[in-house]
Amino acid sequence: MNVSLCPSNYLLSINIFSIVLTLPMVIIFVLLCILLTIHSKTFHPFFTLSFILLISSYAICNICLLLRSICELYDEESYFIDYVDKAYLWVYMYIQPCVVIGLIERLCATIFVSSYEHSRHWFMYIIGQGLGVGVVYYENFLVNNGQYNDTAKNVQFGLSICICICLVILFFVNRHLTFNSRHKSVLTVRYQLAENVKALRTFVPFVVVDNCLSVLFVLSMILFKVDFNIDLDVCRSHPGYTVSFALFRAILLLTQLFMPLLVVKQHSSIWNQIKPLMERRKPTVRQSIDPDQNKINNVLGIDIVGSNVDYFTQLKVQWLT
């Protein structure tokens, strides 16, 4: 091994860089968890709980990354780092099953749109979470037995494919219900569908970015042997490892800084509370009334509520029946 390939100054720079970006990231994710909890009644409890668990997992992973970087500044051989790594691995592996559970929940909410709002099948939800924990246990079993480099990567790719399939299904189901809800469904179904679309607007972009990060790091492990934490043995034996690790670490941290902001912007209840605070210092400008402001567009950009003519037509149908 060539120690000069991985000098101490490089390790120090990586730790400082990680601390500088991870500290505000931890604060942002914790604040997002608090905001989602405050606005927990905006969506169905299953969706809210799944989303809070997902955001909390990201917050815990970032806390572990922050603690590890701080410990490495003082003692790279500390036993505390091993415990932090184990906690990080468990929570990180839970993220993908949590995403799958959330997507399946939204799929059920879209399919059973007329009755899902009042359904509370907690037993089924707990079973789903138990299966997710089982997947995490299986992946950690592979890690402890030295089989992570082969089978576990296939599991991660399989989960990523499952997530993509769920997204495609949601896309077509949502489009089908959108086109068939106008002039046909009762108002309660149409507005319940609108609530489902609001949830998808909040969840799907976060899932897409999360899925891209998962695939990116699986590929980085296969192609460049770059994991989430630096491997000193690989660093001292592969000349290009330092550049690759710094690049992927920067992509991970900067992308995660963007993800909470994306959730806040897409979450209608949180954004409606924050937006007036952001515009308070702006000069008042008289604006004309835009009829498009009363529209609720789905992920396809189609108005799901419909025009005023649609409303009164549907109301007339209800009175005649």
- Domain of 120, CATH number, reads 1.20.1070.10
Window from 88-92, 163-167, 226-230, 280-284 with minimum mean pLDDT: 280-284
CA distances, 35 to each of 3, 44, 194 (Å): 47, 16, 22
The length of the chain, given as a count of residues: 321
Do 97 and 139 contact (CB within 8 A), yes or no?
no
Residue 313 lies in a domain: no
How many structural domains comprise the chain? 1
Per-residue pLDDT of 177-230, as tens digits, reads 767 766 666 666 776 677 777 888 888 888 888 878 877 877 887 788 887 778
Residue 261 lies in a domain: yes
Pure H helices in the chain: 8-38, 45-74, 79-111, 122-144, 153-181, 187-223, 232-235, 241-266, 268-279, 308-320
Do 113 and 187 contact (CB within 8 A), yes or no?
no
Do 22 and 69 contact (CB within 8 A), yes or no?
yes
The pLDDT value recorded for residue 114 is 78
Question: What are the residues facing 5 on neighbouring strands?
Answer: none
Residue 273 lies in a domain: yes
Range of the structural domain that residue 153 is part of: 10-280
Residue 268 lies in a domain: yes
The pLDDT value recorded for residue 300 is 47
Alpha carbons 34 and 13: distance in angstroms, whole number: 32
The pLDDT value recorded for residue 305 is 52
- State the pTM of this model: 0.80
CA distances, 53 to each of 24, 81, 109, 120, 157 (Å): 20, 24, 19, 18, 22
pLDDT at 296 over 70: no
Residue 105 lies in a domain: yes
Residue 177 lies in a domain: yes
Do 113 and 189 contact (CB within 8 A), yes or no?
yes
Could you give the percent of the chain with pLDDT greater than 90? 18
DSSP-derived 3-state class of residue 198? helix
The pLDDT value recorded for residue 158 is 75
Residue 138 lies in a domain: yes
Residue 237 lies in a domain: yes
Alpha carbons 183 and 311: distance in angstroms, whole number: 9
Do 314 and 187 contact (CB within 8 A), yes or no?
yes
The pLDDT value recorded for residue 147 is 66
The pLDDT value recorded for residue 307 is 47
The pLDDT value recorded for residue 207 is 84
